[in-house]
Homo-oligomer: A and B are copies of this chain.
Amino acid sequence: MWLRKERRGAAPLTRERIVAEAVALLDEEGVGRLTMRRLAERLGTGSTTLYWHVDTKDDVVDLALDAIFGEVPVPPVSDDWRGEVTGLLHGWRGAMLRHPWSARVLGRPLLGPNVLARTEFLHAALVRAGFAGPALVAAAYALSNFVIGSALMEAGAAEETAERRAADDLLARHRAEYPTLAAHGHPSGNDWNDAFARGLDYLLDGMRP
């Protein structure tokens, strides 16, 4: 069969290819349109074939999630633990914003190797900084929860300018009930970057080993 070489060479269906295509599909169409059938179609296979490589659709999502965290660069170890941490976390946020569906999918335990490696790095940097015991877990969780929460909110807010417009209208209509909110408005554009950087500084300033 001539097909053999071609099949083997061009399209050996693997977990890796499935995950890569899932990430592409999620990036292009969002989490609501990730479907086993659509994914299989993009891969040129039948939908049920996927189930030989993967137990369940949730597995695909878990794998895709861990895959994008592989994009987060792990800074080199230096004697500036604070620089390492901010570098890691800015990268973390960046990856989540590049793949906004990731925020919608969080909440299941993050146990993939890429996530674990970065979490390990974060903990190690904090240990090097002198944190230990309850202060260590508090610091590590505060930092990652802050990043995750920020990405979640920002990804949600960035989704639809139409909805944002409606939200501003709503806020303007209820100006009397929410005076402070209406006066300062929602962040937009570069405000998010600034707010994130500032917030991270607040947190790091307040942390003491």
Contact = CB atoms under 8 A, between A and B. Distances in A.
Interface of A: 103-104, 106-109, 111, 116-117, 119-120, 123-124, 127, 134-139, 141-142, 144-150, 152-153, 155-157, 159, 163-164, 167, 170-171, 174, 177-181, 184, 187, 191, 194-196, 198-208
14 contacts: A106-B156, A116-B177, A119-B181, A123-B181, A134-B195, A137-B184, A138-B194, A138-B199, A138-B202, A145-B149, A145-B152, A204-B206, A205-B206, A206-B207
B156 A199 contact: no
Nearest to A136: B184
Nearest to A125: B180
A1 B146 CA distance: 59
